[in-house]
Amino acid sequence: MSETIFNFKHFSVRQNLCAMKVGTDGVLLGSWIRCDDAKRVLDIGSGTGLIALMIAQRSKATVDAIDIDKSAFIQSSENFRSSKWHHRLNAFHESIQAYSQSSKKYDVIVSNPPFFLNGFSSNDKLRNIARISDETLNFDELIECSADLMHKESKLSLILPKKESDLFIEKCRVNGLFCLRKTMVYTKANKEVKRVLLEFGYTNSACDTNLLCLRNEDGDYTREYLNLVEHFYLESHLSSVNSEKEIPISSNSFSTGT
């Protein structure tokens, strides 16, 4: 989307400096993760700071947000300062590889990570860094660095396409992290899975798996989806039936109309 500022119910996100804009993936993840009881949360690859802001709204946690891109760091810092939770939001310009060397431990770690493993590359270097996992951060590094910042009760949550989610689940298992919760996201009931929301922890128990469909057959947003995002989106974003432009879409996200 091209708007410089995207307004939510309780905060605004400036995005003119970021390669990746506000999109459905980030809103889904920020709405879905379990963070109510968290005291310390880390957002890896924070971009505009959207997910960190959503977590700050939903919890009383201190939220640290890191991004390797300087422009994203500047943008998230600006968005944090202008929010009502500025005293609980901290932006860091650093790679997760370097940041994980600290002694910090987090209750929840969240990431909307780069996920185009071996394919698409644009001419925009910043977009490549944001979108392609082997440019600056591969899945093995993400898992290992996250584990360094977790304690035995910590949770790691993220969103990925279906193929990449299967690979990530297996890589986590090898590293002693198990999928505790999984939500398969469909744009419509008769379409293929577009994204998978994942939560990992150190407890080897049965995975709680469910489905989330964004639109009914008639094109209206489903009640389940509306309930998930109702505390964030303005009514104007959700009120127009069959409008594919009502939900913010970025190239790192997916169209709710397909």
Full-model pTM:
0.86
Candidates 50, 52, 43, 57; CA nearest to 23 is 50
Q: What is the pLDDT of residue 20?
A: 78
Residue 115, CB-side half-sphere exposure with 13 Å CA sphere: 21
123 has a pLDDT exceeding 60: no
Candidates 91, 3, 102; CA nearest to 43 is 91
Buried b (16+ CB within 10 A) or exposed e, 79-107: bbeebebeebbbbbeebbeebbeeeeebb
| pLDDT range class, residue 251, cuts 50, 70, 90 | very low
248 has a pLDDT exceeding 90: no
| pLDDT range class, residue 180, cuts 50, 70, 90 | very high
39 has a pLDDT exceeding 80: yes
Domains in the chain: ranges and CATH: 5-238 (3.40.50.150)
Candidates 210, 190, 256; CA nearest to 1 is 256
pLDDT in tens, 201-235: 999 999 999 999 999 988 899 999 999 999 999 88
249 has a pLDDT exceeding 60: no
Question: 3-state SS of the chain: helix, strand, coil percent to 5?
Answer: 30, 25, 40
pLDDT in tens, 55-86: 999 999 999 999 999 999 999 999 999 999 99
| pLDDT range class, residue 189, cuts 50, 70, 90 | confident
Between 228 and 127, the higher pLDDT residue: 228
Q: Which residues contact 223 (CB under 8 A, 6 or more apart)?
A: none
Round to whole Å and give the CA distance between 67 and 126: 12
Percent of the chain's residues with pLDDT above 70: 83
